[in-house]
Each structure stands twice: as structure tokens, then as C-alpha cells.
Structure 1
């Protein structure tokens, strides 16, 4: 059993609201910028992925314009760092919960994994070479990611070669409930089957695509699934 001292220090509700307000204030509809659920999804993918991704690599996916003051910058970066650090700690003690968005519906809003899945996809994109090769070579990893992929396809975040029926409410909720276990399993997978020297060499020598060079904002990328 975990003691109070090793329980993860996660953002409290006020801090989550503060970060959410900042991200919403700097996003426009249709510009492809990640909101809080998307940032959480992206950082979750990085936390369980094959290689460390440093803040200077993932921050450009979150922050797109200068801060208005040094104080604002320090505060936002501190909140993002705390959010990032909390994810691995929460996974380690089985306390992880995905941050989900809400969609207006009657009689009340419903939870949506669309933003979280979009962020998770972008997190995988940051190490796309490793993920894509391993997903192609090892069906067990694809199987582990099944609930994430089902949600992503259902929400239109990822395209699929085959036609899938929309998830029913119970199926959708079941996939949501399995996300914490999925992250634990994927983290264990990469720990037990780390990237090989051959995969790492291919990653280093892989030429940058024209799209990577231009680095345009992406709406629903998800190119890690074929």
C-alpha cells in the first residue's frame, strides 16, 4: 500500500481550472490546438512510450505564442510540469484517471475521449518511427492499445481501413474504464521490450518529411495507425 509521502502530487481542481482557462484563452475553434484533455492525452502517451521526450520537444505542441509576462510564463510552465510529473506517478500507484472533455447533450453533458485521444495520437507522433515499426512488427502491442484505438476511431480522431460500427454507450464507457489499465500495460510492454539498436538507428537516420519541415498545425493527425 502506498504511503502518503509517495502518493503522487497531482494538480488540484483549482490548478486544473487555471490551466484549462489558459489553454482555452489561447485556442480558437478549428485551429488544432490541444486543450487540457488533449495535453493530458499527449503527456500520457509520452509517459508510457519507448523513449523519453524532453519538454523542449513537446511544449511546442502546447504553447504557440509568447507569454504576456514572466510571471504568467513561470506559472503556466509550472502547472504543465506538475501535470507531466503526476502522470507517471499516478500510473505507478494505479491512481491514473484520464482527463476527458464534455460534449453538450440532453439532459446533461456527456464525457468525450476525443480530445484525450487526439493528444495521445500526437504523443505517439513525437516518436512515430519507433511506434509505427513496433506496431507493424508486434500485434500484441496493437492489441494492448485496442481500447484507445476503438475510442479514437469512434471519435474520428483516427481513420481506419475497415468500416467500424459506432460504439454503443456501454461499449464506449467500457473502453473509457480500461484506459488506466491500458497505460499500465503499454508502459510494462516498453519496459520489457525496449527499442532495439536497429530501431534506434533507423530513428536517427530517418529523413525528415516535407510535412515535418513545415510543421503545420494538425487537426486530426493520427497517422500512427494505418
Structure 2
């Protein structure tokens, strides 16, 4: 994992990040949809800059999928997740945010990958999907602000593009990576300047009150549906 190193006191140390990374890796299986550390960071980053607060009771099920082996382990993991969550807003406030990224092997050696972070970011948006989707459809400014993140997500196959999409060059990919902190700052400011309206809140409540998907019907895709 590529981790940021800041002097902000609420940020996790490298040792704490490694500890959380090991726990998440130990409780996932190959080819499943569980988020690893980069994905969890992306998820919490989306929540930090989103339109409405999302409480831990909502986002923890996206991260933890089985009971803890013992109480001490549970308390430790929850404390690390809480600290990671708190650190994101703190780092954004002082322009010290950097995404936690995965690493992939390429023909020229190891390279950073935003795939996991983007998957988590998409799932964070899913938790307030009605608000994000309506605003993305109605306000081109928000779509434009998210451009670099969307480009990475499409390039890594996290989101599907409606039109044919040319793969990013290595330089373009790296440029989009460097823009992530600025994107998050701008998106956070966007929602502060243009807060959720009463009509949007009512639509969100109505959507949450709709009946669950009936057994036998196709499940809604977990990510990739917030771009229209």
C-alpha cells in the first residue's frame, strides 16, 4: 500500500495502517467484493466530502463482514477504523490528504493503482446514491469536479462509460492521481455551497422507503451506477 505520511496528529501511523491492512486481508478471500485498506479509504473519503453525514452504523457493514474473534480484537479494529475516518477530514482541512492506493505489477515493474480506492469511493457514493445521482444529473459542475476520479474509475473498470473510452496513458493516469486531493476539496466545498434541498431529502426518504428487491430479481450492481 502507498500511504500518506503527515504530521497531523489524528492520522494513523504506518504501523497502524499496516495492522489494519493485515486484518482486512486476513478476512477476505480471492475474487470476493470485500474492500481492502485502499477501498476503505476511498469509501470514507467519499463520505467525508459528501452531501450528508453517514454514521458508522451505515458504513461499517461495507467494511466488516464477520464477527470478531474476540472483544479485544474488535475494539482495536474499530478504533483504527474510527481514527482513519477522523483523519480524512482533518487532512483535507490542512491540505495534507493523500489517497491510500494499491499496487499492481506491470511489465515495467510495480505501479500505483486507484482501482481499490475508486471502488470504495463509488460505494461511499452508493450510501447516499439518491442525492448524488440527482445532483450529478442536474448540475454539470459537480460532474466536472469529479472528472479526474471518474476517469480513473472508468480506466480501472470500476465504472462503465456510456461512450467509448480511450485508456489513459501512464502520464494521464498519474496526473489524475495527483488531482484526487484537489477533487475531494472541491467536492466538499461544492456541497457546502450548494447544500441538499428539501426536495432532494424527500426524494431520498421516498427511495429508502421503497420495497426491497424481490427474491429472484437481478440485484442492483454495487458500484458504477452513479454516473449518468
TM-score higher than 0.5 here?
yes
Query: How does 1:35-74 map onto structure 2 within 5 Å?
Result: 35-74=36-75
Q: CA deviation at 1:221?
A: 1.8
Which residue is 1:128 aligned to? Answer: 129
Give the distance between the partners of 1:98 and 1:212, measured in 2 at CA: 37
RMSD of equivalent CA atoms: 2.0
5+ residue gaps, structure 2, are: 1-6
Q: 1:62 to 1:97 in 2, by over 3 A?
A: same
Which residue is 2:166 aligned to? Answer: 165
* TM-score normalised according to structure 2 size: 0.92
Q: 1:121 to 1:154 in 2, by over 3 A?
A: same
Which residue is 2:226 aligned to? Answer: 224
Q: CA deviation at 1:212?
A: 9.7
Do the aligned partners of 2:213 and 2:219 also contact (CA within 8 Å) in 1? no
Q: 1:48 to 1:197 in 2, by over 3 A?
A: same
Matched, 1:146 2:120: no
Do the aligned partners of 1:118 and 1:220 also contact (CA within 8 Å) in 2? no
Give the distance between the partners of 2:59 and 2:210, measured in 1 at CA: 17
Give the distance between the partners of 2:125 and 2:214, measured in 1 at CA: 14
Which residue is 1:3 aligned to? Answer: none
Do the aligned partners of 1:33 and 1:217 also contact (CA within 8 Å) in 2? no
CA deviation map 1:45-102 (0-9, x unaligned): 0000000000000000000000000000000000000000000000000000000000
Q: CA deviation at 1:32?
A: 0.3
Which residue is 1:18 aligned to? Answer: 19
Do the aligned partners of 1:42 and 1:119 also contact (CA within 8 Å) in 2? yes
CA deviation map 1:165-217 (0-9, x unaligned): 00000000000000000000000000000000110011111144644999x99
Which residue is 2:33 aligned to? Answer: 32
5+ residue gaps, structure 1, are: 1-5
Which residue is 2:88 aligned to? Answer: 87
Q: CA deviation at 1:7?
A: 3.3
Q: 1:168 to 1:16 in 2, by over 3 A?
A: same
Give the distance between the partners of 1:178 and 1:51, measured in 2 at CA: 23
Q: CA deviation at 1:159?
A: 0.5
CA deviation map 1:107-134 (0-9, x unaligned): 4211000000000000000000000000
Give the distance between the partners of 2:215 and 2:202, measured in 1 at CA: 20
Give the distance between the partners of 2:213 and 2:88, measured in 1 at CA: 30
Do the aligned partners of 1:8 and 1:90 also contact (CA within 8 Å) in 2? no
Tell me, what secondary structure is at the counterpart of 1:164? Answer: coil
Q: CA deviation at 1:225?
A: 1.1
Which residue is 1:101 aligned to? Answer: 102
